[in-house]
Amino acid sequence: MNSYIFRQDWTAVLQLLNQSLYAEEMVCSMSTQLFVIPATADLKGNAEMHNSLVPASYHRVTAVGSAIRLQNGETHESIIRILVSCVNNGLKRDQEVTKWLPIMRDDAPEEYKPFLQNIISWQQQAEQSLTSAKQLLKQMGYESQ
């Protein structure tokens, strides 16, 4: 019975991480698109935002991979430490991403402001899901490191 509960717990964490990663994929795709649209190619803050977006994405991918391994029955403590660390590091990087997005929106031509607002919404979803994963990990007894 304990093994089943253990896997159920990791499944819930994995679902939250996958939700966060999906939203992050949208942020990455949409904000990168701005580099190739002539009207937004030099958008203030986009390059700076990507300096944090890229590592934030890496941390999400690594967290998802770790959760998959745990869900599949691996139990090494180092996998859990990596998972918790990546969740925390992803959230730290998200702070910088979130800081630059309104600057980008404000600098964008009027017709692109709704597009930027959509990116901001996706980023909020990415952060909310990752925060929920962090809270669940805490409830499971894996404190922030």
In this predicted model, what pLDDT tens digit does every residue of 15-39 receive, in sequence order?
999 999 999 999 999 999 999 999 9
Task: Say yes or no to pLDDT of 47 above 50.
Answer: yes
Q: How confident is the model at residue 44 (pLDDT cuts 50, 70, 90)?
A: very high
- The structural domains of the chain, with segments of one domain joined by +, span 2-139
In this predicted model, what pLDDT tens digit does every residue of 77-112 receive, in sequence order?
999 999 999 999 999 999 999 999 999 999 999 999
Domain at 2-139: CATH code: 1.20.120.230
How large is the greatest C-alpha to C-alpha distance in the chain, in angstroms? 58
Contact 74/29 with Cβ under 8 angstroms?
no
pLDDT recorded at residue 1: 40
pLDDT recorded at residue 2: 45
Q: What is the pTM of this model?
A: 0.92
Q: How confident is the model at residue 143 (pLDDT cuts 50, 70, 90)?
A: confident
